[in-house]
Structure 1
Amino acid sequence: MLKQIKFEVSGQILQLSALSALDYLEYIEYMNSLEKPEPIKTEDTEKEINAKLNQMTRNNLLAHARLIAFSLSHSQTDKTIEELQKEVLTTLTNSDFYLVLEAVQNVCNFPKSDGREETESTGGEVKNA
Structure 2
Amino acid sequence: MTDERRGVAGEVDSVLAALADPTRRHLLDLLAARGEATATTLAERLPVSRQAVVKHLAVLDAAGLVTGSRVGREVRYAVRPAALDATARWMAALAADWDRRLATIKRVAEAAEGDAFQS
Q: TM-score, normalised by structure 2?
A: 0.27
Question: Would you tell me which structure has more helix in proportion to its own residues?
Answer: 2
Q: Which has the larger radius of gyration?
A: 2
Q: TM-score, normalised by structure 1?
A: 0.26
